[in-house]
Amino acid sequence: MGKFKLYNVDLKNLTPGVHEFEYLLENKFFVDIDGDQVQKGKVKAFLTVKRSSMMFEMNFQIEGVVMVPCDRCLDDMEIPIDTHNRLVVKFGKAYAEESDEVVVIPEDEGAINLAWFLYEFVALAIPMKHVHAPGKCNKAMSSKLKKHTAKSTDDGDEEYEDEDVDDDVTADGDVQVTTDPRWDGLKGLLENDNN
C-alpha cells in the first residue's frame, strides 16, 4: 500500500474531538487502485473524524466527476458524484468488518488506510445505468446498434433487423424473407425437440 500512504489516518495519536482531512482523487488514484468501475475522475473527499473514548466516527462528503463507459456506445462519459458516507472505526485484536459501516482495526497498529473505502464510496455513487443524453452517443456505434435492434410490431411480436436476413419485395408487394442457410441446421434441432 505504498502508493496510498497519503490515505493513512493514525487514529491512535488523534486527540479526542473533531479532526478534518481533505483528499483529491484524480486519474492516478483510480489507475493505481485498479478497480473495475472507475479509471478516471476528479473527486474531492472531505473527511471529519470525531474521536470518542470508544470509537472514531468518520463522515465523508465526496463530490466531483468520474469517467465511465456509456452502456450503449462504450465512449467515456462524465458522471457527477455527490455522496455522504459514514464509517465507524473501533480498536480490537484483529481486523474485522462488523457491518457496512463498522470496522475493527488492530489496536497495536492504530491506523487505518482509507484508499479502498474512498474508492468504494465513489463506485457506489455511480448509477446502475449510465447512458449519454439522447443524440450524444457515438454516431458510428449507434448506427451499428440500430441494425441489430428488435422492433415491436402491431401484433406484439418482435421483428429483428439483422445483417443475416435479406428482405425482398415481390412484384405484388409481398415481402419475401430469405435467411442465412447456416441457420437451417439449428432449426432442424428445434423441430426435433418439439416432436
Q: Which three cell numbers stand for residue 42?
A: 476528479
**CA 121 → CA 45, 109, 115, 139, distances in Å?**
10, 24, 10, 33
Give one DSSP letter per residue of 23-34, joined into a string: EEE-HHHHHHHT
pLDDT tens-digit series, residues 67-107: 998 888 888 899 999 999 999 999 999 999 988 899 999 98
Q: Is the pTM of this model over 0.75?
A: no
